[in-house]
Amino acid sequence: MPSNLVVQAQADGVRLITLHRPQALNALNTELLAELADELDAAAHDEHTRTVIITGNRKAFAAGADINEMAERDLVGILNDPRVAHWQRIAAFPKPLIAAVNGFALGGGCELVMCADIVIAGSDARFGQPEINLGIIPGAGGTQRLLRAVGKPLAMQLVLTGETLDARHALQAGLISEMTQPELTVERALQVARSIAQKAPLAVRLAKEALLKAQDTDLASGLRFERHAFTLLAGTADRDEGIRAFQEKRPASFIGR
Ligand code: DAK
């Protein structure tokens, strides 16, 4: 049983993971990261789980890596850091991942947000990469994913000054997909997750993969991947069902085949 997470599997194919280290503003220590990576692995292999939401509490989504734990690591400890593998497993989650964010999402917390595919944030959310204040730089994709999300000038400003961004500005900058009232963040994320959970799972999976390709490949390769994925889906029972349901004017019932 994870001790830093609360995991709720909903009947409708949605798994809600709540980060639960409130005494440290959900700071991401090694144990929490390992538990999160394990939960995501389990969700990836569970055919009933179609979509996962990660959330925190009203004060903090996550205030970054655990600074007290970081203080104990020397250079050799950093070279052999088990957190690297945990982060890689989290970033490789193949199903749709939604972050429902209230309060602080700083450092590793902001990097976790950027591992998500969709980000619903309360108007009280604050995002930032304050590692520069500790004499370090982001270590879990913060320089790479932030620049891709918000562009060079704002990414530079955030990473070099450690300033934070409120939810309104994060929405304008493209770091989040939607802003809600703080008390509705998880509810709205559940709505979005349930909507995705009803779609054809193979199409959802390939759509995610194709969209992610757009971030790190040239246009010609991305278009080639899209065409292959599109063609692959032509052989699925769910494509037949989707088209038949449209013609018969009824909701489609997808089975993931
Ligand atoms: N780590 C440990 N404890 C933390 C924490 C953190 N990141 N953030 C907050 N806490 C603890 C505080 O120490 C305090 O504990 P007590 O004193 O009550 O025992 C409690 O949470 C409440 O925090 P505050 O009293 O500070 O609350 P405030 O409302 O006054 O301030 C704050 C909230 C978020 C502005 C402040 O807590 C803050 O500045 N926190 C630190 C934020 C930060 O610098 N985050 C970046 C950390 S560096 C890597 C991958 C990733 C990373 C590193 C390596 N590899 C794969 C190798 C990531 C690095 C980072 O994220």
Residue 190 maps to which CATH number? 3.90.226.10
Q: Please state the pTM of the whole predicted model.
A: 0.97
The number of CA neighbours under 13 Å toward the Cβ of 25 is 18
Which residues does the annotation mark as catalytic?
65, 108, 111, 131
128 & 151 share domain = yes
- Last residue in a domain, options 171, 197, 223: 197
Q: How far is the CA of 20 from the centre of ligand 1 (A)?
A: 14
**213 within a domain of the structure (yes/no):** yes
Mean pLDDT of 45-59: 97
89 & 177 share domain = yes
Q: Whose CA is nearest to atom 44 of ligand 1?
A: 130
Which phi and psi (to 5°) does residue 214 adopt? -60, -25
The parent domain of residue 237 ranges over: 201-247
Number of compact structural domains in the chain = 2
Nearest one of 185, 186, 205 to 197, comparing CA atoms: 205
Per-residue pLDDT at 1 exceeds 80: no
Q: Which amino acid is at 40?
A: L
45 & 164 share domain = yes
Mean pLDDT of 152-173: 98
149 & 228 share domain = no
Specify which residues 219 forms β-bridges with.
none
- Last residue in a domain, options 197, 218, 239: 197
Q: Which amino acid is at 69?
A: E
Q: How far is the CA of 34 from the centre of ligand 1 (A)?
A: 18
User: Residue 159: which H helix or E strand, with range?
Assistant: helix 152-161
Q: Which amino acid is at 135?
A: G
CATH of the domain at 221: 1.10.12.10
**257 within a domain of the structure (yes/no):** no
210 & 173 share domain = no
| Ligand 1 surroundings by CB, under 6 angstroms | 24-25, 27, 63-68, 81, 83-84, 87, 104, 106-108, 130-131, 134, 139-140
Distance (Å, whole) CA 21 – CA 216: 34
- Last residue in a domain, options 197, 220, 239: 197
178 & 242 share domain = no
123 & 233 share domain = no
189 & 208 share domain = no
Residue of 25, 36, 106, 111 to test ligand 1 pocket, by largest number of atoms within 8 Å of CB: 25
Distance (Å, whole) CA 247 – CA 253: 14
Distance (Å, whole) CA 178 – CA 9: 24
Per-residue pLDDT at 27 exceeds 90: yes
Mean pLDDT of 27-47: 97
Burial of 82 per CB tally in 10 Å (0-12, 13-18, 19+): exposed
**253 within a domain of the structure (yes/no):** no
Q: How far is the CA of 146 from the centre of ligand 1 (A)?
A: 20
**254 within a domain of the structure (yes/no):** no
Per-residue pLDDT at 159 exceeds 80: yes
67-116 per-position pLDDT tens digit: 999 998 888 888 889 999 999 999 999 999 999 999 999 999 999 999 99
CB atoms within 10 A of CB 14: 25
Q: Which atom of ligand 1 is nearest to the CA of 83?
A: 56
